[in-house]
Amino acid sequence: MTRALKRPLPDRIPIIGSVGSGKTTLARMLSKIYTIPYYVLDNVVWNQTSSGDLRRSDEERDHYL
C-alpha cells in the first residue's frame, strides 16, 4: 500500500470534509503509515462528557492550540 516518497512529507496535512466523512479515520491511517502524529481538532473546541459535548471556553481552546 505504501510506496517510497520522492520528497519529504509536509509539516502538516490538512484534512477537510463534512461530518461523518471519515476525516479522523484517514488521519489515523496516515499517522500509522508515516509514523506522524494526528490531531482531532474537534477535541480542541469541544469537551466530550458523558452527558454530551460542551463547547470549551476561548481560554481552554487557546490552551489546547
Phi-psi region of 6 (alpha: psi -120 to 50; beta: other; left: phi over 0): alpha
- Evaluate whether 47 touches 40 at the Cβ level (below 8 Å): no
- Tell me the per-residue pLDDT of 17-33, one tens digit each, with 9 for 90 and over: 888 899 999 999 999 98
Q: What integer pLDDT is reported at residue 4 of this predicted model? A: 64
What are the sequence ranges of the domains in the chain? Answer: 41-65
**Is the whole-model pTM more than 0.75?**
no
Q: What integer pLDDT is reported at residue 51 of this predicted model? A: 92
